[in-house]
A and B are shown apart, each in its own frame.
Chain A
Amino acid sequence: MIEVEHLSKTYGSTTAIQDITFEARPGEILGFLGPNGAGKTTTMRILAGYLPASEGTARVAGYDVHSDSMAVRQRIGYLPESPPLYPEMTVQGFLTFVAKIKGVSSELRQRRADIAMDHCGLLDKRKVLIRKLSKGYRQRVGIAQAIIHDPPVIILDEPTVGLDPRQINEVRQLIKGLAGSHTIILSTHILPEVSMTCDRVTIINRGQVVATDTPDNLTTRLWGESAYELEIKGDVDTAQHLLNGLAAVRQVTLLGPEHLPQHHHRLRVSAEADRALGGAIATALVSAGLELHELRRQQATLEDVFLNLTTTETLTSTSTEPPIAEASIETQEA
């Protein structure tokens, strides 16, 4: 639905994005993740036909964004970084205006405006001047204008900025609800947003794509192992011996005894990736007469992956190296 090939954009001597390639398949939500200044907005603008690319091509629904600009414009809904609103208009007046210039027929206009307002929770604000709305509501009006003409492709540049947690959740639900019948690409620098809403993620850093995959694949691929943390009561040597004997276990380490009651020990078991060892660990320990107080599976968060990809330049999208320890420490501090 969205195909981006070798896209580059330079402003004078500054390179905003360089040789970006990715695609969004029909009906999916593609997250476009990157730190501030990575080139997210530039890419979004190129896709929306607002900026021309310096090199490369971008196609939306089969139409080139530059040479078939009008065809593309008819098929996209676009929420720019700052929502494009006329402060002196009412919510309803504004949405009707947008429906008009997006080519919604006059019979359908009112209904589409109602649907969009309903989706975005704006029905009780329909007669309010946009000037008087709070930032969160303005953002919602911005989203409403992007979906008012029911476009097959929706481009959202940081859609949850400025919203409170409840609204963020609502907007995420809204975006999820639109998937399937719409192809959505959304940019963000908020990691949980991606893992919660997106089917696939493209991570960009300094204008280049560093990885594209599903959030789950990204985390497992880059973590490279699975790990468990457990708290036991009993003889720690027996436990270590037992655990080392399990298949696929690579290493068992004894963690510091801080904040633990007497005779309690904390262990970390690392194992090969994609191996569910929880059951085996529990059975082995309990059948040996040890008390198991806690067993927790550790997973790399997308945050680890993101920090990895955007702070170390040696890692590329094809890399399968385990992450560098510093990155995960940074994560915990953050």
Chain B
Amino acid sequence: MTLILKNILAIYQRELQSYFASPLPYVIAAVFWLLGGFFLVAILLGPQGILAQAAMADQAVQMGMPPSPPFDVAYEFNKAYVGLLGSLSMFVLPMLSMGLYADERKQGTLELLATSPVTNWAVALGKLMAVVSFYIAMVLPLMVCQAVALDAATPPTGSGVFLLSHLGLVLMAASVLALGMFISSLTESTVLAAIMTFALILMLWLVDAIAQGLPGVLGQAIAHLSLLKHFTDFTEGIFDTGGLVLFLSFIVLGLYLTAQSIETLRFQRS
């Protein structure tokens, strides 16, 4: 058991190290931060931003209009911003997961890993943990910026919704990365892996859209399986065990498929 943990840790460390050695992760993080910062300002202070909407609602009340439903600026801002980070991540995650196994295949190091006394599970888990850590490192600075903005809210908001929504963000990212890792394990080409992962994300969006469009039990059933719907729940501050279970199931599924694909698909002539 301790040996397995050591192996996972070894894979995890090596994987994290490799992020510092390659320019790609820096570029991805820089673009993510640039866009994240831009949208932070736009959503909060822009002409259509949350503060402008709140001011308009106040004005309407002063002019004698019937008061609209209460409007919690901090809550709405958090929901909109984390939702946006979720959408932004969908473009970034395929680029993070694409090289996880495709590079190993290309370098031939998969042959080293597959002939070392390390289980495929341990390799997959170490890799997933590393890439999720990197994603968290990407989100953290934006969280700090957001916390600064939320700190100015009166009345002060609790940190519960804020943290929960980000937990949802990371869980969704981990699910997508786990599936992206599986796709990466199928091919030698990182580009192909990225495109396929993006196609998968589009399908997730499609599933969400179908769930919203379909009436009745069927729509509900699909909605239960939609990552995006559960993510939205988290951003709204709704903690649903079902959602947590779904995210974890997707992660385990991704790990399982990856381990299986390494076990069986390396047998192809390469």
Q: Which A residues are closer than 8 A to B by beta carbons? A: 11, 45, 48-52, 70, 73-74, 76, 78, 80, 82-89, 93, 97-98, 100-103, 145
Given contacts A11-B269, A80-B108, A82-B108, contact A101 B113 (CB under 8 A): yes
* Chain A CB within 8 A of B18 CB: yes
Residues of A within 8 A of B269 (CB): 11
User: B21 contacts which of A45, A50, A89, A101 (Cβ < 8 Å)?
Assistant: A89
* Chain A CB within 8 A of B63 CB: no
Is the Cβ of A80 less than 8 Å from the Cβ of B117? no
Least CB distance, A31 to chain B, in whole angstroms: 21
Given contacts A86-B18, A101-B10, contact A48 B109 (CB under 8 A): no
Residues of A within 8 A of B65 (CB): none
Give Cα distance in the complex from A70 to B13, angstroms: 23
* Chain A CB within 8 A of B95 CB: no
User: B111 contacts which of A50, A70, A93 (Cβ < 8 Å)?
Assistant: A50
Is the Cβ of B108 less than 8 Å from the Cβ of A86? no
Residues of A within 8 A of B21 (CB): 88-89
* Chain A CB within 8 A of B227 CB: no
User: A74 contacts which of B110, B111, B117, B267 (Cβ < 8 Å)?
Assistant: B117
* Chain A CB within 8 A of B154 CB: no
Chain B residue, CB-CB nearest to A70 = B117
Is the Cβ of A51 less than 8 Å from the Cβ of B267? yes
Residues of A within 8 A of B110 (CB): 84
Residues 1-38 of B, flagged 1 when their CB comes within 8 A of A and 0 if not, give 00100110011011001100110000000000000000
* Number of B residues with CB within 8 Å of any CB on chain A: 28
Which of B18, B109, B113, B268 has the most A CB atoms < 10 Å from its CB? B109
Give Cα distance in the complex from A61 to B267, angstroms: 23
Least CB distance, B113 to chain A, in whole angstroms: 7
Q: List 14 A-B contacts (CB under 8 A).
A: A48-B111, A50-B111, A51-B267, A73-B117, A83-B108, A86-B109, A88-B21, A88-B22, A89-B18, A97-B13, A98-B112, A100-B10, A101-B11, A145-B112
User: B17 contacts which of A50, A76, A89 (Cβ < 8 Å)?
Assistant: A89
Q: Which B residues are closer than 8 A to A by beta carbons? A: 3, 6-7, 10-11, 13-14, 17-18, 21-22, 107-119, 266-269
User: A80 contacts which of B13, B14, B17, B111 (Cβ < 8 Å)?
Assistant: B111
Chain A residue, CB-CB nearest to B126 = A101
Majority secondary structure, B binding face: helix
Which of B21, B112, B113, B118 has the most A CB atoms < 10 Å from its CB? B112
Residues of A within 8 A of B14 (CB): 86, 89, 97
Is the Cβ of A87 less than 8 Å from the Cβ of B107? yes
List 6 additional A-B contacts (Cβ < 8 Å) besides A98-B116, A100-B6.
Answer: A80-B112, A83-B108, A84-B108, A100-B10, A101-B113, A103-B3
Residues of A within 8 A of B7 (CB): 100-101
Given contacts A11-B269, A88-B21, A89-B21, contact A102 B108 (CB under 8 A): no
Give Cα distance in the complex from A85 to B111, angstroms: 10
Chain A residue, CB-CB nearest to B122 = A101
Closest 4 CB pairs of A and B: A88-B21, A84-B112, A100-B10, A73-B117
Is the Cβ of A88 less than 8 Å from the Cβ of B18? yes
Chain B residue, CB-CB nearest to A16 = B269
Least CB distance, B78 to chain A, in whole angstroms: 38
Is the Cβ of A52 less than 8 Å from the Cβ of B267? yes
Residues of B within 8 A of A11 (CB): 268-269
Chain A residue, CB-CB nearest to B20 = A88
Least CB distance, A248 to chain B, in whole angstroms: 52
Least CB distance, B25 to chain A, in whole angstroms: 11
Residues of B within 8 A of A45 (CB): 111
Residues of B within 8 A of A74 (CB): 117
Give Cα distance in the complex from A102 to B115, angstroms: 9
Given contacts A88-B21, A97-B10, A101-B7, contact A49 B115 (CB under 8 A): yes
Residues of B within 8 A of A103 (CB): 3, 117
Give Cα distance in the complex from A334 to B84, angstroms: 69
Least CB distance, A44 to chain B, in whole angstroms: 10
